[in-house]
Structure formats: C-alpha cells, structure tokens
Structure 1
C-alpha cells in the first residue's frame, strides 16, 4: 500500500514549530506532554488534510465529496510516541491538541498498513471529522482510482468501533442517523 501525504512548505513547518514552542512555554501547559518533551526531540510527522461534515449536511445525505477542507494537521512525535497533533486551519488559525485522537490517528494508520486488503492500493491520507458528534476517522482517499476506506478513531461513538474499517456509504448512513438523533435532541430544549 502506498500512503501519500500532501507536500508541506518549509514556511508551514516553521509556523507549526513556532506555535508549538510558544504553547509549550505557557505556564498553563507546564504539565502537558508538549511541555515535558525537549523541543529538539520533537518531529512533525504524517501531514494530512482535515475535512469536516456538519450535522445538517449528513442528514441531507452528504457524501465524502461534500466534506469541506478545513485545515492541515500533523502528528507531533517525541521519538516513536505521538504526543500531540498540530493543525493549521484554512483561516490561518492554529491549534495543538493532546488526547485520544492523537493516539487514535497512529492506531488507525497501523490498522491500514497491516490490512492485506489495502496492500495493493494507493491512498491519500486524510482525516474526516464531525465535531458535533465528537467523531474522527482516518480517511484513505483512493482519488477515484481506488475505493475510499474509512477507519473510525477511538473514542468512536456507538455504533462505531475504533480501528474498524467501514465502507463510505455505510459510514455516512450511520453518521446520518446519529446526526438526526442529535438534531432532534437539540430541538427538544
């Protein structure tokens, strides 16, 4: 399997590193993983584009083609460990996060690399997220040459399981049902 990542400019790498250094230096971050690692030992890995779908789009029957590009994300590595993610939003905003989706990204990549069914394909690494459902998945885009593959990340909301390969149509059907329920619940208040 060939996993492709987007080309990254030197300027964007410098911007991410500068932002990470600034965050790690804040007093509020002194107990976070970013502040505990030596900045010289940190590497940026696996750049990938982040796409987003909203609840209304899902309920209307969105496809993966309807997902909006919202940013570019990197895994922040300290040795072999993913300790954070860093994202540059399309509006030039910056976020760095720690938590389950960081390790979930690394695990989803491992699942994809070990799956014999994907060994012959050529895929672009992406992430799909539905913020209102606290849902993130590794999206391996076949670019029209291969069938797209989607692997939800832990903590995945039921009925998903982290690391489970899901066909895009099945994924979107399940997400649409979750979106309907969420919108109905929100309308009660």
Structure 2
C-alpha cells in the first residue's frame, strides 16, 4: 500500500480507547450513530490534524501547526464516527467524538490515494479561513507526522463538502492549490478587528 500511515502517540490512542469504554463519554457525545451501535467499536486510521495558520500570498512556506490526532471509529466494515485528541500540558488526551460528512469523505479520499503508485504519508490539513478540510499527502514518508511544512510538491485532496470553486477529491499540488485558496480570501482584517477563521475549524 503506498500510504504510510504513521502510528499515533500511544497516550492519544489510550485516551480514545478509554473514552470508547466509558458509557458516559459515549452517551453524552453528540453522535447518534455512535450511541446506536450494537457491538464493538475500534479506533482506526489515525491521522495527524494540522492547521494552516494563515494563507499569506507569496509566502515561501505556509505556516502550519499540529492541532491533534483524529481516529475513525469503526463498527464492522464502516466508520460511524470519529474521535479527536489534543495535546495538553499533561500530554495527549481525548477531546470529543463527532460525526458528519468529513468522515465519509476522509475514507473515500484515503481509498483514492491508496490506488496511486507514489508512496505518501497521509495527514489532514484544516484551512479555517475557508472552512475547508483536505487530505494532505506528504512526500516525506519517514518524516515526523507532527511536524514539517507544506512542500510545494505535496498533494492536497479537498474533502467534501469543499468551498465553492474547489472540486472535492481532486488532488492538487500545494504550489497549484494555494494560489486558488488565496483568491478565495477576502482582504486582510483591519487593525483591531478579529481575523477570520479564529472561531474554529471544520470537524
């Protein structure tokens, strides 16, 4: 398989397993699909979630930071939800369960990427300014999945739903997609006004 999925930090995985084993955590989650499952649940396909801090025209290396690790929660042959973890002062810990279109689109984009002949390290990249999520296919398969900048030749696969004018599931080189994303942005915020994208990123 050309995708080299990196193992998640052990404490992150343990925190998700503990949450899945907690009736309270599952019952209080906003995930009807997860609560209605009969049978075992397992966290699979761990992917590091990076955030594009800001799209700056003509910037050589877009700035990103690691926001957490995401696991697809599988029941049998299908993913019914996802679990996010975050790094705190005490280490990696469970954040929340969720469901929605990005679960299905992540699975579809990963299957599509597995059919390529080029090896990649899969990651997720959130672009809060556009409320956009992409599968980030990083060429450096041996790189630390929690660090590293977007390389111009890396591929970004927009997940559905994608912003207007950007086609979901179509792979784009970073060097080609960043200018398109930049055009989608409005003018920079005036001094003293909040910047876009600071209210959170898509699930």
Q: Normalising by the residue count of structure 2, what TM-score does the alignment of the two structures yield?
A: 0.75
Give the paired residue count.
Answer: 177
Q: State the 1:32 CA deviation.
A: 0.6
Gapped regions of structure 1 (runs ≥ 5) = none
**Corresponding residue SS for 1:173:** helix
Residue of 51, 55, 58 corresponding to 1:58: 55
Supply the RMSD in Å over aligned alpha carbons.
2.7
Is 1:137 aligned with 2:139?
Answer: no
Distance 1:141 1:174, change over 3 A: same
Specify the alignment match of 1:16 in structure 2. Answer: 16
**Corresponding residue SS for 1:122:** coil
Structure number with higher helix proportion: 1
Specify the alignment match of 1:7 in structure 2. Answer: 7
Contact 1:49 1:72 (8 Å CA) reproduced? yes
Contact 1:62 1:172 (8 Å CA) reproduced? no
Gapped regions of structure 2 (runs ≥ 5) = 143-150, 196-203
Q: Which runs of 4+ in 1 moved over 4 A?
A: 60-65, 181-184
Distance 1:93 1:63, change over 3 A: farther
**Corresponding residue SS for 1:139:** strand
Specify the alignment match of 1:94 in structure 2. Answer: 95
Write the distance in 1 (CA, Å) between the matches of 2:188 and 2:157.
22
Is 1:160 aligned with 2:161?
Answer: no
Q: State the 1:173 CA deviation.
A: 1.2
